[in-house]
Amino acid sequence: MGRLDHVSADAGISGSVTPLRVVSPTRQIDEREFVVEIADATRTFGPVKAIDGLDVSIEKGRISVLLGPNGAGKTTAIRMITGALSPDTGTARVFGLDPAGDDGHEVRRRCGVVSAKPSLYDRLSGWDNLRYAAELYELGRGAGADNRIREAAAMFGIEGSLDHQVGGYSTGMKTRLALARSVLHDPDLLLLDEPTSGLDPESAFAVLELIRKLTRDGQTVLMCTHLLLEAEGLADEIVIMQKGTTLLAGTPGELASQYWPTPQVKVTSPSAEGFDLLATLDGVHAVSIDGETATADLDTLDRIPDLVASLVAGGVPVQAIVPFSPTLEDLYFAVRRDRGDDHGSDDIRPPEALSGRPARALPEAA
């Protein structure tokens, strides 16, 4: 993943941020082991530039999330990783091999893919779909392969439906079958393109739990999504993509600290004079005001009790004081705003719109 200690950012409290620079991890001296390294890759389809100077590195044993609106190039990036598509320029290395060249077979054998559409054979039974994958992925046709098929199906709770024709499956069952197929051969790298698309919240949660479990078992997961809530609860590392290129990459904590380098607190009060007082208090570096809410940049959140006391003593009618913990949604839109493209983001869905669950704050950088 692109490291944020190579990203320059002077974050102001009002959110004005110096443009970030993602440095290709392939050019870094780094002891981390990267399973995927895409450097300066481009790929065009006719007049459309789907990938435009993409730099992405995926660390072994981690869950990395490609986040971006439709058309950002997430699916094309996955296709490059398996060698299904080759970059026009730049390089893609997976397990240190060239997926689009002679090493393609070895790379694809070690990858499990769930594409945006389940890519299943509707006329075949669930069992036959898994059997087909087992044979293509060199598991053979014996009892060992049969057991593996049953295990993979059981992992996603579809073992009772394997005899049925897939055409009769619900969308959720199809997704589960596609997931079972992707882990059948115990891949080292799991590539998931919108894996919870079409799933009910319960199934989606189960899938995300399973993805967590896979990385605990040492597997590397790369997931594409435009659902912020999914990425927030899951991602060890995040790559924000737009128009075929990487806007920003790093752990959620690292990314948050780039945009919000100091702790912040939001103070709600109908008194504008109160905000003037706030700006003069010890430990407050700066204040930005938006209506009846002021965001204060502090040296430490330990100042909050003193802050409350001082404001009350100054006669300021304080309605609320809340430490600000940025969510992925905050981060995402801050990045988009920073790049002068805060419009056209309709296809990125904020967490609340999904399930009514509150957004989770990003963890602090280590």
Partner 1 sequence: MNWSRALTVARTDLKQLAQARDFWLPMVILGTLFFVVFPGILLVTITQIGQVDAIANVSQTLEVLPANAQEQIRGDTPQGRTGYALAVFLFAPVAVVIPLTISTAVGAATIVGEREKGTGEFLAHSPAGVQEIYIGKLIASLLPGYVTTAVGFGVYSLIVNLTVGPEVGGWFFPTAQWWVMILWVLPPFLAICLSLVLRLSARVTSTAAAQQASGLISLPLIMIAYSQSTGALLGSGAIAIWLGGVAWVVAVFSLSRGVRSLTRSRLLGVASGV
Q: Which of 253, 345, 258 is nearest to 68 (CA)?
A: 345
For partner 1, which is the closer residue by CB, 135 or 306? 135
The CA-atom distances, in angstroms, between 330 and each of 20, 223, 264, 289, 290 are 16, 20, 13, 17, 16
> What is the smallest separation between the CB atom of 205 and partner 1, expressed in angstroms?
25
Q: Phi/psi at 194 (nearest 5 deg)?
A: 50, 60
> What is the smallest separation between the CB atom of 118 and partner 1, expressed in angstroms?
7
For partner 1, which is the closer residue by CB, 92 or 113? 113
For partner 1, which is the closer residue by CB, 99 or 252? 99
Amino acid identity of 106?
Answer: E
For partner 1, which is the closer residue by CB, 3 or 43? 43
Do residues 287 and 297 touch, judged by C-beta distance below 8 A?
A: yes
First to last CA, the chain: 16
> What is the smallest separation between the CB atom of 46 and partner 1, expressed in angstroms?
5
Report the C-alpha gap between 56 and 94 in whole angstroms.
11
Please report, as ranges, the residues that interact with partner 1 according to CB under 8 A: 44-46, 48, 79, 82-85, 105, 108-109, 111, 113, 115, 117-124, 128, 132-133, 135-138, 165, 181, 191
Residue entry with tokens 């990487």 = 246
For partner 1, which is the closer residue by CB, 181 or 303? 181
> What is the smallest separation between the CB atom of 176 and partner 1, expressed in angstroms?
15
> What is the smallest separation between the CB atom of 120 and partner 1, expressed in angstroms?
7
For partner 1, which is the closer residue by CB, 118 or 263? 118
Q: Phi/psi at 246 (nearest 5 deg)?
A: -90, 125
Half-sphere exposure of 220 (CA within 13 A, CB side): 19
> What is the smallest separation between the CB atom of 69 and partner 1, expressed in angstroms?
19
Q: Where does 191-343 have alpha helices with state H?
A: 201-216, 228-234, 252-259, 272-280, 304-313, 328-338
The tokens describing 258, both together, are 């780039």
For partner 1, which is the closer residue by CB, 75 or 257? 75
> What is the smallest separation between the CB atom of 341 and partner 1, expressed in angstroms?
24
For partner 1, which is the closer residue by CB, 116 or 321? 116
> What is the smallest separation between the CB atom of 345 and partner 1, expressed in angstroms?
25
Q: Which of 234, 160, 169, 162 is nearest to 198 (CA)?
A: 169
Q: Phi/psi at 164 (nearest 5 deg)?
A: -85, 150
Report the C-alpha gap between 212 and 204 in whole angstroms.
13
Eight-class DSSP state of 1? -
